Amino acid sequence: MFRSAIVQYMNDYSDRDMEEAARYNLIIKWFIGIPVEDSSYDHSALGDFRDRILEIQIRGTKLRGFPTISTY
């Protein structure tokens, strides 16, 4: 999914455009690792992926704000 996000960013695709490109463009299919005979994922999967990445980043930021507890 990360490779799809890279292709989407580099080509300035919307989620639906990326879904279509992953379904019909053989070079993009090869790059993101989808077998030629398979159909691609749904466009909502890209949004879900971005939401999960954002959630991980927010969680990491919150954890960095807490003081560390050292045990002696």
The residue ranges of every structural domain in the chain are 2-65
Residue corresponding to tokens 């704000």: 65
The pLDDT value recorded for residue 67 is 58
What separation in angstroms does the CA of 1 have from each of 6, 20, 23, 51? 9, 15, 14, 13
- Look at residues 48, 45, 53 and name the one whose alpha carbon lies nearest to residue 19: 45
In the chain, the largest separation of any two C-alpha atoms, in whole Å, equals 60
The pLDDT value recorded for residue 39 is 78
Asked if 43 and 15 count as a contact pair (C-beta separation under 8 A), the reply is yes
No. of helices (H) and no. of strands (E), the chain: 4, 0
> What pTM does this model have?
0.64
pLDDT band at 30 (very low <50, low <70, confident <90, very high): very high
